[in-house]
Amino acid sequence: MKIIYLAILTLAIVLLSGCIQQEKGSTVVPNTTNPMTSNDEIKGLPKQTNAAQPPPSSQIDYSHEYPASAANVNGFEMKKTGSGFIVYYHPGDETNANKVLAVLEQGGLNLYKKYLGFEPKDMPVYMAASVDEYVKIADFPGGKENVAVGDGSAPNGKIYLYKPFGETIAGKTGGVIIHEGVHAAAYRFFGQDKIRYLPGFLNEGMAHYLEYIFKAGSGFDPLDLIYHSDLLINGVKTGNPKLLGLEELAQKCDGYISDDILNFLCRGQGTYTVWYIKETYGEEVLGKFLMNLKQTQNWQNALNNATGKTTSQLEQEIQDNLKSRVG
Ligand SMILES: [Zn+2]
């Protein structure tokens, strides 16, 4: 009886926390003619839309050697320590551990500081060597059948990776690492109690946004890069699927979303929202919003304080902007 109670309590806490940012979708194959797009995080390396600014992914020096030392954490025997992150791994994974840390230290730290206004300290990153280990340590609710090589998640301010750099999709792991790093950094910035005030669609939107900047540079075209942007385009042109307003996005996009269309809308519209706000209100607007949200604990007020616009004004602006881009 006690065990059942504990299980229900644990489930309730997990659900209520609203911070399970598992990257599902790796088994979703919406376009069977092109297996390269079978993961919702990754489209391979996109075309560069701003030649003046090379993407951070092209700047990573993987030959930089980070020091290794013995560890004894969660069954991991080794660690590599940088200034913001500590990567835990098993013996034999040292080369990939070094690559993971290179992405975070050389790419992640700068991106998080520049666009979110804060950077993590001592953030743990765990490199699981098997699906069983990944599902167990990451407490992954999607089950083993929904995990693919190169996947990641960040449910509690820590990053969990399954066989990073073991995938065959070019550029997948780098994007996943930057993406999960956003979730983990946001969790640590707000803390366990306050992370729930950050709406899921904005959390996902920020994670995808920085993932795309990492891969393509800051001048990327959102309708080129947003995974399943066809849904946004069809939504504008035909009304199907019906695009969601900001309040609806905040209500419907939380936790683990099993409905594919809703999942893609939450991520796609979330990314478009973040992209639009940053393009229109400047590089520091996301940092202002996050800092304000931590104080006010109200995302509508925080958006208003950061942009000077009400939620409905912003919603209208974003709709109009999307319409004009779709043409
Ligand atoms: Zn995510």
Give tens-digit pLDDT for 42-87: 444 444 444 467 999 999 999 999 999 999 999 999 999 999 999 9
- Asked which of 18-27, 187-196, 205-214, 318-327 is least confident by mean pLDDT, the reply is 18-27
Indicate the number of domains in the chain.
1
User: Which pair of structure tokens corresponds to residue 210?
Assistant: 């920085």
pLDDT for 152-198, tens place per residue?
999 999 999 999 999 988 889 999 999 999 999 999 999 999 999 99
| Residue carrying the six token digits 């073991």 | 166
What is the whole-number distance in angstroms between the Cα of residue 179 and the centre of ligand 1? 6
What is the whole-number distance in angstroms between the Cα of residue 316 and the centre of ligand 1? 25
More confident residue, 231 or 142: 231
User: Which pair of structure tokens corresponds to residue 201?
Assistant: 């669609």
Burial-class residue 178 by CB neighbours within 10 Å (0-12, 13-18, 19+). Answer: buried
In a domain, 56, yes or no: yes
In a domain, 5, yes or no: no
What is the whole-number distance in angstroms between the Cα of residue 197 and the centre of ligand 1? 16
Note whether 125 and 104 are within 8 A (CB).
yes
In a domain, 48, yes or no: yes
DSSP H or E segment with residue 125: strand 123-128
In a domain, 261, yes or no: yes
Note whether 210 and 247 are within 8 A (CB).
no
* pTM greater than 0.75: yes
In a domain, 3, yes or no: no
State residue 15's pLDDT score. Answer: 38
What is the whole-number distance in angstroms between the Cα of residue 70 and the centre of ligand 1? 31
pLDDT for 103-138, tens place per residue?
999 999 999 999 999 989 999 999 999 999 999 999
Question: What is the extent of the structural domain holding 123?
Answer: 18-30+37-326
What is the whole-number distance in angstroms between the Cα of residue 184 and the centre of ligand 1? 10
In a domain, 53, yes or no: yes
- Going 272 to 274 to 279 to 280, the CA torsion angle's sign is positive
What is the whole-number distance in angstroms between the Cα of residue 204 and the centre of ligand 1? 5
DSSP code string of 190-235 = H-TTTGGGS-HHHHHHHHHHHHHHHHH-TT--HHHHSTTHHHHHHH
